[in-house]
Structure 1
Amino acid sequence: MKKLAVGDCLWPHVRRVKEEDRPNSVECNIVFAVFREAPEDDFCGLATDHDISKHPNWIFADLVEHRPSLSISPRLGVRKALSLMDENQLGALAVLNRGQFVGVVTRQSILEALLNRERHLLKETMRLKIAAETNHEQTVVWVGRLAALNDAARSLLGVLAHTSIETELLQAGIDALCKLLDARYGAIGIVDNVGALTEFIYAGISDEQALQIGHLPEGRGLLGVVIEENVSLRLEDMGNDPRSAGFPQHHPRMTSLLAVPISHQGRVYGRIYLSDKYSGELFTKNDEELALSFAHSLSLVIDNAREIEEVKRARQRLDYIAHFDALTELPNRTLLTDRALQFITQAQRKNETIAFLFLDLDNFKAINDTFGHAIGDELLRAVAKRISASLREGDTPSRMGGDEFIIMLPNIGDSLDAAKVAIKILHALNEPLQVQQHQIYSRASIGISIYPDNSFSFDELLAQADSALYHAKKLGKNNYQFFTPEMNSAAQHYLKLEHHLRRALELDELVLHYQPQVKIDSGCIIGMEALIRWHNHALGIVMPDQFIGLAEETGLIVPIGAWVLRTACEQARAWQLAGMPIRIAVNLSGRQFHRFQDQRQLLDVVLDVLKETGLSPELLELEITESIMMHKLDTTLDTLNQIKKLGVRISVDDFGTGYSSLSYLKRFPLDTLKIDKSFVKDICTDANDRAIVSAISAMAGQLKLELVAEGVEDQNQLDFLGGQQCNYGQGYYFSKPVPAEQASVLLRQSVLLQQ
């Protein structure tokens, strides 16, 4: 019979494309023949579904360029073609006749041609035998045998056509291979990267026998050799081989063996073994080649399936990263936007209501500064879990970044439902969170906007929820607020205020006013507190309570605070040179103090200002609040001690409104306590306020601290304070804050009074 050549085995599923074309999708079993220009000219190479699955966005020119380019003659024998495929790890080769593209040959097309040839030979042989046989029963046996072999070949080719491996396909494969090679027993074993058996599909052993055997092969003995050494075995009697580990109890006795590895590019995916032909004959070299060819094709299928799975997992990971926050595993803004737009479209059709909650933690920066960013990250994860636990299944919590979260509540009944959810979240966050060894309270503020009441636009709804959040912060934090047009106006004013404040120093719009501190028993001025004012050309006079909080939030308080310190010291030095030495009190904000403290710069700033202005250190008094004093206790104490060594005075402002422990007061290098004006206001009518002021006065006397009462407005208050051994008073009773020129007049009058 004529030798089978490549030209007899061409693959029918070939599609001609141009190199600038781009594959629309991965089509299994299609081989693309790529041409430079017209489909008939200038052949470039081949691309397969495997190539496209690896690089789905490449054009065909790129796919061909990164693939080995081999072509063969249509007259080449199929065994040589299979050898070339093995050497170059290819599943398809281009067939060219004198430079002209003829077609494509694949491992599967060669295998199919070989099987068709074998079937043809078998049919012819059986036809002759049937003709020679006179026994009708023998004729029926031969016809049945032929049909079984045809079915086996068809099943085997069907398995090789798949690009993913499933148990059913492996079962069909081993069943077909056993039929094709007349084997009584057979099995396919698939292993993982470390050699552990993950799939074991068998044929010829009943389920009852498998149950009696009780365990899968352990990979020892002959089957272990096949995988470990990546070799084939063909034995007449495996029991006589010294490498045999024997059979477990209840395992049927097997004699002859054909075992081949399932491998690709040196990587072993498993093995196939067959045993004991029904005819009693031994396995031949041709049987081994057919089993190896099937195993090799199976390895390509497994390799492709695993690579596709890896690509799929990688894409899933990239998709996850693109749509979810890595820290909290909540949806990010991108995914929230996608979902929101879908729900808004749906809500338009069904006349539904959607709420958007903008949540921001109230004290997250302080927690980060105190405990560090690692604890802060764990806190955010814990907060995310509590938010999620407070929601319905269809709600979407998301993290915008930092300590900001957006919660979308689709299909709510009305705004009251949104309020209930906000209250539930606030209650959940009011409970302390255990983060490592720390018990942390992390409260939040929430702003709420409603679709369609507030807007039809997702971006506007977020901006409105943000405005409502800002309003919640202004009302004291740890609460929720709905968006209203008035809030939007306030938010616009806030943005306008920030814009002008950022240029206030540059445009020289800030000024200092000075309020005297007066000795109660003599009426003489003993000090001046520097208080900032802002004169803006567009906004007019802006009072501190309108912009100091904004300066704190934006960080502008740091350069503004440095300007206040320098300007106040320059004025105090001018008074000193004019023969009116008076101490000047300057407030330090929390953010300003701890920013400098973290960078170890506060001492340097004070030193520089004193040196440049020439002011005597004892004429400078720095005012801090209780919250500043108690934050990072040890480092704050160290910083204050260093400042005290310079001769600078330290006072505690608004005393009684914070949370300092009285036992710590004696540790700090303090000179003065300032009683907050809230206690002084009703001192003549409220017994509780009188008791508090009396207690503070007694404590200051014991600690040998000077005492200044703020907010003194009438003689009755002054008389009570004088009776409580309060040294000094400050308030409108003596003078409101005035510009430097008027303050100078007050100082001259005080000097004359002392004379």
Structure 2
Amino acid sequence: MDDSGGNRTHRWRESLGRFFRAELMVTFHPGMFDNPKVAGLLLGSLTTFASLVLFVYVGTPEESLAPHAGLFVLIACVSLPVGLLSILFRRFFTRAVRMIVLTFLLLDTAVSVYLTDTTSSALAMSTWILVILALSYMFLPILQSLPFAVAGTVLVTTALFVHPGMRGIDLLLIIPAAIIANFGLHWLVTSALKSETDDLTRLGNRIYFKRILNDHVRSAAPGDVTTVVLVDLDHFTLTNEVRQRSYGDTILIDFAARCTRLGGPDSGAVVARTAGDEFAILLPGMTTWQAEAAVEAMRADVHVFSAGIAGHEPGESASGLRTRVTEALSSAKRAGRGTTRVHGGHYATATAVGQAIANGEFSLVFQPIVDLRTRRAVGAEALLRWTHPTRGAISPAEFIPLCEASGAMPRLGDWIVHTAVTTASSWTMPVEPGAPPFYVSVNASGIELGDPHYADRLLALCAAAALPAGALKIELTESDYVVEYGAVHANMAQLQTSGIPIMIDDFGTGSSNLERLSEVRANVLKIDRRFISAIGCAADDAPLVQSILGLARGLGSSVIAEGVETDVQADWLEENACRFAQGYLFSGPVASADLAAVCAGLSARSAALRPE
């Protein structure tokens, strides 16, 4: 049996259904007209103007003697205070208030059309419906404005129909014009909305978010708190290549839904899909640390993502805020993906950091590194601290990425190395006979080692301070160690040849290339504290730590365990041939003036626990 006709009908119905869903279900995105002050000002001005027009209309000689002149005066007298109050209290113009005022204007128009004495006056009065319908599309969500427009058109058409002087033939001309006007206004509004709407997720797009953020920043009052979050799905392109595109679309739709719930109910959060796998979230009234907590809570059951966060600062432009949140996201990606970075603000610019150095806001503290066989200190890591005059103590995890992003890191890094080398040259820590000198380790970034002259400056500084060979070690994060820059590798090779060992900090948290590790061998691997914390918590006791220890032996590198806090951890590490450790079990970071006493205390405790 031929069912092609039925199939065509079915396809036609589906196409028609898709068209109406696309037209009617366009998500409403508040634009400039959704601003309460703008809506109140425009609607109030229109109502006031309409009332004045009615006063003028009734004041003409022809209409002043008309039977319904008194009713027109009454309508004008009611409309005038409504308009003035709307202007005066425009900041309270919620969508509900707008609907009430628009309905009032619509009823005014319909009653005025009915009360006019002549057909020409009725037709002239009915043209106000076009203005009211246009305003309804501007000030109301599309699913409210469309029924309002239909109801308004029917109401005014009915008023014309029952007007004593109106002929039926006149209505045949008016009704099609009203329908066409309605469809035209609807088409214009939905077209404007679609230009700012993502087809897949039904969220706003980059154009929409940029406009909303600009409006929000312009209208922000002093003291208002606003945070922007930029989220990027990690390795999403690979997911699309390996799986079907429909699977990737499902992930995007689900992730978009989760982003819309990030700020909680009634938070006023605005979410947009700003790129293929990137989402932007505006969170009014939420601080950066609250936003960070909400983002981290979202990680448990969604696709792995990186996130950047920035809070709006007083006087900052929307473009400046967008730049900072983009920098925060880039920093999160450089950190190995699957992480969140918060851009703290403009306090870490190159100029500000230079001024902070001059003002003595930076300082170094030192945490001892202990030989687990003797439990004596053999060196210390220099750790940077910043006490800001207004922000107080700032965590290095916050300001270091900002300094890297702003270009301040080279100057700050030079200050760190100079201060650490100068300080270490004055130390007189006793060491065992035949042992290497007591050393200081300094953290350096890939940005610093990317300077072709870095090694030369460092060696000249050590020579000027008369610091013996081996008394300085350079620490790099794992991600910086394996970068492809030739200058980085050249500097590392020159330093190692000159007797300055290279250490990989937080080993195991980055993305090492084993071939590169074997080509440019690090002298020391520092195992990240998160792996050390697993020691003593399970029967198989930290298999990852055992694996790193085995890798280090294969590479000929020594190992320092970070974050050692218990004797159980220290004893286990010693038994598994980990030579050195660092952590609060031995000492926290201390000032240089107190370091000698701390090291002496460790030596005394070692002598008491392990007598000769």
Which is richer in helix? 2
Q: Which one has a bigger Cα radius of gyration?
A: 1
Normalization by structure 1: what TM-score?
A: 0.39
Higher RCO (Cα < 8 Å, 6 or more apart): 2
Which is richer in strand? 1
